[in-house]
A = this chain, B = another copy of it.
Amino acid sequence: MDAKLDSKTNILAAAARLFHLQGYHATGLNQILKESGAPKGSLYYYFPNGKEQLATEAIEQMSERIYVEIKNSLNNFPTLKEGIQFYIEKLAQKFDKIDELESMPIGLLASETSLISEPLRNTCLRSYQKWEDLYYQKLIENHFDSKDASHISVMITCLIEGAITRSLVSHNGNPLREVRISLNKLIEEK
């Protein structure tokens, strides 16, 4: 039973890593299978809808991982302002050593697939909304009104995704740090 589960787990783990690092179209099923050690038949046994299903589940897994990471970051501090600073600094550090980068949020996959696959677009949309809800709830706790809270939540997603792209091109986490500073101005204490 463990072996069975491991096969599916291994395929999904390899897929998640490669999809988020290289993108949807740059990642072949053969590469995923080679890295996971599983044969091709297993992939279509566990993921009968092929590449699209594999990508959907990979995004969901990554989404959940980031959700937990954000949640933990926010829980360490009384305000969103402080928590988000901590989270972004951790993110920035990943981009300083670009060679060791082994995962990043879903922006690349979202951009690649939003125009060609409704299931993948919806998965990405739900991910963003789940993260934004974490920000939103924390802002409500911090006595922001609902309208401001929901505005700032979307802003944070945009800022982080854009800064990730910009950091990737710069080969360092400095753009993320610029964003971190700006968020201080954007999230005014109530």
Contact = CB atoms under 8 A, between A and B. Distances in A.
Interface string A7-43: 0000000000000011111100000000000000000
Interface in A64-109: 98, 101, 107-108
A181 B152 CA distance: 10
Nearest to A109: B111
B161 A166 contact: yes
B25 A110 contact: no
A179 B155 contact: yes
A115 B168 contact: yes
Q: How would you classify the secondary structure of chain A's contact residues: helix, strand, loop or mixed?
A: helix
A186 interface: yes
A170 interface: yes
Contacts of A98: 115
A4 interface: no
23 contacts: A22-B115, A24-B26, A98-B115, A110-B168, A110-B169, A111-B165, A112-B112, A114-B168, A114-B171, A128-B169, A151-B181, A151-B182, A155-B178, A157-B162, A157-B166, A158-B163, A158-B175, A158-B178, A161-B162, A161-B165, A162-B163, A162-B164, A185-B185
